[in-house]
Amino acid sequence: MATKDIGPKNPVAKTNDMVVDYVDHRTGMKTGLNWFMNRNIPAETSWFQTLGFTAMALFGLQAITGIILAMYYKPDAATAFESIRVITDDLTWGWLVRGMHKWGASAMIVVVFLHMGRVFFFGAYKYPRELTWVTGSLLLVMTMFMGLTGYLLIWDQKAYWATVVAVNLTASAPVLGPYLADVLRAGPEFGPNTLSRFYAIHMLLIPGGMITFIAIHLFLVSKLGIAEPPWSKRRTMVEREKEEAKRQAARDRLPTGRTRVPVRAPEHPPLRTPAPTSSSTATTPEGGGS
């Protein structure tokens, strides 16, 4: 079979180029994507550096399965439990989507912790990546809150009492604890409103926050580049040079903390004043006549 023409003359390829050019001209999309996607990475980059992306992929999976579940889940105290039963037992592949969402949540928490551990042991949180670490910490808190708020939605005895314990623990925290517990319970007591509150937090508030912070986190990762692993020869060399420069600066410093003025050879005055030449008597230094 003859190969189809996919060269620049092909009308599909031409239209494709035209659309891309049209959008790029108005948005700078190509430059932006190029900045985000293409960059050099350290020679020693390994599988350890894929954990962040794995966490992000799991977040995507949770979002997709969550949207499907939300199409059938009924966030009401009278119907929530029954809607979960319908999803699991009656809907085609409902058990699979629910199972993926449930196990995906646990997997995501494990992977986020592994990613954090990798960042810690690689020393990737140090200057200039402190803010990447801070945004990551917020993502960790939000991931765990997703687990807490999602657990109640099953609305069976185990979920109900486990959440009572978790919220009571929150209430015992100093200063903000009681207020935060009131916000979570939607009042002083657990009740039907608590379910709606948890549903809104689980479906809207935290996913919105996570999307925002993942975007900031990725922007920082793109801007700063991936940190070199501790066994990188280049990193060891740069760090050794920095240490040496620090030690040298300390050696040059006086005990008072002031820096020593560099010693220069004294400038001796000329032994004899040079005899005036005929030209120097004829003109001033500016070259004017006397």
Q: State the residues that interact with ligand HEM by CB under 6 A.
A: 49, 51-53, 55-56, 59, 112, 115-116, 119, 124-125, 129, 132-133, 136-137, 139-140, 143, 214, 217, 221, 226-227
Task: CB nearer to ligand HEM: give 116 or 203.
Answer: 116
Query: Up-side HSE of residue 176: CA atoms within 13 Å toward CB?
Result: 3
> With the CA atoms of 131, 132, 138 and 144 taken in that order, what torsion angle do they form, in degrees rounded to the nearest 10?
-160
User: Residue 202 CB, nearest distance to ligand HEM (Å)?
Assistant: 15
Measured from the CB atom, the residue of 97 and 142 that comes closer to ligand HEM is: 142
> What are the C-alpha distances in Å from 174 to residues 37, 178, 180, 181, 182?
44, 8, 11, 12, 14
Of 97 and 111, nearer to ligand HEM (C-beta) is: 111
CB of 64 to ligand HEM, least distance (A): 15
Least gap, CB of 56 to ligand HEM (angstroms): 4
* C-alpha span between 61 and 139 (Å, rounded): 16
* DSSP tally for the chain: helices H, then strands E: 12, 0
Rounded to 5°, angle at Cα 59 from 64 and 46:
135
In angstroms, what is the minimal distance from the CB of 205 to ligand HEM? 15
What is the number of the residue whose Cβ is closest to ligand HEM? 136
- To ligand HEM, the closest distance from the beta carbon of 239 in angstroms equals 16
Could you tell me if 147 and 109 are in contact, meaning their C-beta atoms sit under 8 angstroms apart?
yes
Instruction: Rank residues 139 and 159 by Cβ distance to ligand HEM and give the closer one.
Output: 139
Whose Cβ is closer to ligand HEM: residue 77's or residue 226's? 226
